């Protein structure tokens, strides 16, 4: 049987700075590939999967700056990296790129078998293939350049919905999406784009108005990865 492999851009240990797990020591596994096309994306180096930029896992782990180099990695190899690096965190955040381009069931199950919890950060535009025990954060990307639609199935699978906002139309789009997908029982966070003052003020006011929660990207205020 062919082993499951994932295209990995980087792996690092830090503090989760967003959503319900804010402040939690976490291992981030960033996967390569995303066609969604968010204009404000801060990880555009993960968008394209260029075979010419494939390297080995040691080269990925040796990175000291953002790059579009990636490696094909098995779940077993990832676990070995966690051990070799002596990572202490037991919460693994699988992000991207767009992680739900991949079937994440084998990876998440192996993580659980070895004492880790898993969290997926997705745009909601691809089918979410994860076990029930995985925490799913949907950051719905509405009307992006790639033309992908946010899936009702992704919204309904979400444990939390974390929506980036810069202007009122972003709040209105979220309200419409929640109505269309009959999503009423989730934790909902608003996240100001790029920590802009105006966006932050809008997010605070909207959270109070709708009884939502605020996510402020704590890691960026702290100046950590």
115 appears as a binding residue in the annotation: no
192 appears as a binding residue in the annotation: no
43 appears as a binding residue in the annotation: yes
Other CB atoms within 10 Å distance of the CB of residue 153: 13
103 appears as a binding residue in the annotation: no
41 appears as a binding residue in the annotation: yes
16 appears as a binding residue in the annotation: yes
38 appears as a binding residue in the annotation: yes
Per-residue tokens: 206: 């909207």
Q: Are 95 and 42 in contact (CB under 8 A)?
A: no
207 appears as a binding residue in the annotation: no
24 appears as a binding residue in the annotation: no
100 appears as a binding residue in the annotation: no
208 appears as a binding residue in the annotation: no
Single out the residue of 100, 101, 103, 104 nearest to residue 118, CA to CA: 104
42 appears as a binding residue in the annotation: yes
Helices 168-180 & 197-210, crossing angle to 10 degrees?
Answer: 40
120 appears as a binding residue in the annotation: no
Find the Cα–Cα–Cα–Cα dihedral 96, 100, 101, 105, rounded to 10°: 120
95 appears as a binding residue in the annotation: yes
97 appears as a binding residue in the annotation: yes
Per-residue tokens: 69: 């180099």
* Chain-centroid distance, C-alpha 202: 23
Q: Residues annotated in the binding site for substrate, as ranges?
A: 15-17, 30, 95
Annotated binding site for Mg(2+): 43
Q: Which residues are annotated as a binding site for S-adenosyl-L-methionine?
A: 40-42, 97, 139-141
User: Which residues sit in the known binding site for [4Fe-4S] cluster?
Assistant: 34, 38, 41
Residues contributing to the annotated binding site:
15-17, 30, 34, 38, 40-43, 95, 97, 139-141
């Amino acid at each position: 049987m062919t082993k499951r492999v994932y295209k990995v851009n980087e792996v690092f240990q830090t503090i989760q700075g967003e959503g319900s797990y804010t402040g939690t020591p976490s291992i981030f596994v960033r996967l390569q590939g995303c066609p969604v096309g968010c204009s404000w994306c801060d990880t555009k180096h993960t968008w394209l999967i260029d075979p010419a930029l494939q390297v080995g896992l040691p080269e990925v782990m040796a990175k000291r700056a953002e790059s579009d180099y990636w490696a094909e990695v098995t779940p077993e190899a990832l676990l070995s990296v966690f051990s070799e690096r002596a990572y202490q965190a037991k919460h693994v955040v699988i992000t991207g790129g767009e992680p739900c381009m991949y079937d994440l069931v084998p990876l998440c199950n192996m993580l659980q078998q070895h004492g880790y919890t898993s969290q997926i950060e997705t745009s909601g535009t691809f089918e979410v293939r994860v076990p029930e025990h995985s925490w799913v954060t949907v950051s719905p990307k509405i009307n992006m350049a790639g033309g992908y639609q946010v899936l009702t199935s992704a919204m309904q699978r979400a444990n939390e919905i974390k929506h980036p906002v810069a202007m009122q139309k972003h709040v209105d789009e979220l309200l419409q999406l929640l109505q269309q997908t009959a999503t009423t029982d989730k934790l909902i966070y608003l996240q100001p784009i790029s920590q802009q003052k105006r966006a932050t003020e809008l997010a605070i006011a909207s959270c109070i108005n709708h009884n939502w929660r605020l996510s402020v990207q704590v890691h960026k205020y702290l100046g950590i990865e």
